[in-house]
Amino acid sequence: VTLSYDTAVYTGAEIKPEVTVTDGGKTVNGSDYTVSYSNDVNVGEATASVTFRDNYTGTRNLTYEITKAAFSAKVLLPDWTYGESAPLPTLDTNPGSGTVTYYYGTSGNNASATEPSDAGNYYVYAVIAETCNYSVVTTDTTAFTIRKRSIVFASASENWVYDGNSP
């Protein structure tokens, strides 16, 4: 008695490898046995139970492993202007609802969990914690900008936009 595979990756649905029964090198007709499966959805050890009938007798339990699935996700974070409320980053997917930690930086490996507040160009990435059925995921970086805020000065004689230089 054999299974078509002994390891499968979690899919969220029942995983049922095909069972092949042979007797003396000949394949046994499927009407001579039944197959039932248990623990066949989530990560861990699953079982295919083969119960023989008619011309055969007995039961044979075969185990197979369901392993954690991997997935990829992308951080979504729009640009904003200094002084505005910073939007919260989101993910395009998180099928296992793993805990998410976002890391921010400007270049290289200087990332921290503190969201920037000054105007400038930044990147963000997320680490999604492993869950019962999914492996840990680290996203690619996503660039975003905190734009400089324009300040308009008004006086009785003239209006101008401050650009860092005197009028």
Secondary structure percentages of the chain, helix, strand, coil, to 5: 0, 45, 55
Q: How many CA atoms are closer than 13 Å to the CA of 82, on its beta-carbon side? A: 11
Residues 45, 122: Cα–Cα separation, whole Å: 44
Condensed to tens digits (0 to 9), the pLDDT of residues 102-118 reads 999 987 667 889 999 99
* More confident site: 10 or 164: 10
Residues 18, 27: Cα–Cα separation, whole Å: 13
Condensed to tens digits (0 to 9), the pLDDT of residues 71-88 reads 999 999 999 999 999 999
**Residue 161, pLDDT score:** 67
- The pTM (predicted TM-score) of the whole model is 0.78
Condensed to tens digits (0 to 9), the pLDDT of residues 124-144 reads 999 999 999 999 999 999 999
Residue 126: other Cβ atoms inside 10 A: 23
pLDDT > 70 in the chain, percent: 90
**Residue 107, pLDDT score:** 76
User: What single-letter amino acid sits at 36?
Assistant: S
Residues 104, 127: Cα–Cα separation, whole Å: 12
